[in-house]
Amino acid sequence: MSSSKPAPTEYEVVQEPEPHPARTARILKAHPEVRKLFGRTPATALLVPLILVLQFGMAYAVRDQPWWVIVLAAYTLGALVNNTCYVVIHEATHSLIFKGRAANLLTAIGADLVHVIPSAATFTRFHLVHHRHQGEFDLDADLPSHAEAKLVGNSTLMKALWITFFPLMQALRMPRFSKLISFWEPWTVVNAVAVFSVDAAVFFLMGPWAFLYIVLSIFFSIGLHPLGGRMIQEHFVISHPQETYSYYGPLNISALNVGYHNEHHDFSAVPWNRLPEVKALAPEFYDTLVSHRSWTGVLVKFITDPSMSLYSRITRPGGVKRRVLTGGVGRVPDSVASLDQPPVQPAA
């Protein structure tokens, strides 16, 4: 579906604070029982060995197959499994698996072993900043750079290429935060050594075609694939002025309910397996919000609708530029602790 409305050529800047803390407070006042959902799910860690067996088992199985078999395997099983890896890393980032930061990071790095390029330890820092500073361009790595947005514009072809190479585009944003967030921490080195060692093992022991399967699985899992619709669903403005959207479709099964994005931003202390209960306990807060039922649908709309561009996001002025994290990953407070006393937004 297209629109005659012109695509934005710069980010919309609003003065209002991001909506989640205020809604968190209202929900807890109306439904204090939501607090019972806070906690951790240690069983999530059991998915890591299953993921590794499936991905590397399939890589081994297709090592001598024609190229089209490798592509098909990566687009089907590989993308699903790899997407689950990202969600496990996400859960560990919020300390929703174990209480100790080290245990969560080791779990995240275990899931990261199938990603070719190490990202788990770095994601831990950038994602928590995204939660605390949603829409602040100088701090929120979820926002495309201006060069990225201007390059892509609202061209159907360019938007399709952008989502196809989304993992690469996301990585290219990181240098803009180099003065704010330290890239080189001990856990980053551990992460890199582990992932690159596994890369070498797959390439030399299973062969280049097995390695290709792993690489393609990454690009399909958050690229030009139904699963890639999640990258658009979460914060691209479909219904102004709403800036965060949830997805309630069937792919939440393999994606560990990551589609419940409003619920997650409101209650980042709730693990993936309890997020549907947040919506069930407070339906009057979520049923009134625009949501998505199809990742494929939202992806097709974004690519083909000339009224949408990478600037179809809501931003807000941030504070003075500062070094957000100076003490390394180990000093980042986890989501459960931060939501014990959720912040209340002052009335405008």
**Segment 2-51, tens digit of pLDDT:** 456 889 999 999 999 899 999 999 999 999 999 999 999 999 999 999 99
Alpha-carbon distance of 286 to 281, in angstroms, equals: 10
Residue 334 lies in a domain: no
Mean pLDDT across 195-218: 97
Q: Are 313 and 18 in contact (CB under 8 A)?
A: no
The count of structural domains within the chain is 1
**Segment 260-298, tens digit of pLDDT:** 999 999 999 999 999 999 999 999 999 999 999 999 999
* Least confident span in 165-174, 175-184, 237-246: 175-184
Burial of 151 (0-12, 13-18, 19+ CB in 10 A): middle
Residue 280 lies in a domain: yes
**Segment 136-147, tens digit of pLDDT:** 998 899 999 999
- Terminal alpha carbon distance of the chain: 36
* pLDDT for 343: 39
Residue 311 lies in a domain: yes
pLDDT tops 90 at residue 339? no
Residue 126's Cβ-side half-sphere holds a number of Cα atoms within 13 Å equal to: 23
Mean pLDDT across 116-122: 92
Alpha-carbon distance of 212 to 208, in angstroms, equals: 6
69-73: long-range contacts, CB 8 A cutoff, minimum separation 24: 70/209, 70/212, 70/213, 70/216, 71/216, 73/213
CA quadruple 190, 329, 39, 269: dihedral positive or negative?
A: negative
Which single residue is written with the structure tokens 């990603």? 115
Residue 38 lies in a domain: yes
Alpha helices, H only, the chain: 20-30, 47-61, 67-73, 79-93, 101-112, 120-132, 146-152, 156-164, 166-171, 186-201, 208-221, 229-233, 261-266, 275-281, 283-286, 295-304, 335-338
Q: Are 241 and 253 in contact (CB under 8 A)?
A: no
Residue 115, both tokens = 């990603």
**Segment 35-44, tens digit of pLDDT:** 999 999 999 9
Amino acid identity, residue 292? H
* pLDDT for 177: 79
Residue 347 lies in a domain: no
Burial of 343 (0-12, 13-18, 19+ CB in 10 A): middle
Residue 3, both tokens = 């629109």
Tell me which residue of 170, 161, 169, 167 sits closest to 303, measured CA to CA: 161
Amino acid identity, residue 237? V
* pLDDT for 138: 86
In the predicted model, what is the mean pLDDT of the chain?
89
Residue 331 lies in a domain: no
**Segment 62-111, tens digit of pLDDT:** 999 999 999 999 999 999 999 999 999 999 999 999 998 899 999 999 99
Q: pTM of the full predicted structure?
A: 0.90
Residue 324 lies in a domain: no
39: left (phi over 0), alpha (psi -120 to 50) or beta: left
Residue 225 lies in a domain: yes
* pLDDT for 304: 97
CB count, 10 Å around CB of 250? Answer: 11
Range of the domain at 253: 16-316
Alpha-carbon distance of 308 to 9, in angstroms, equals: 10
Q: How far is CA 233 from CA 258, 275, 316, in A?
A: 11, 17, 20
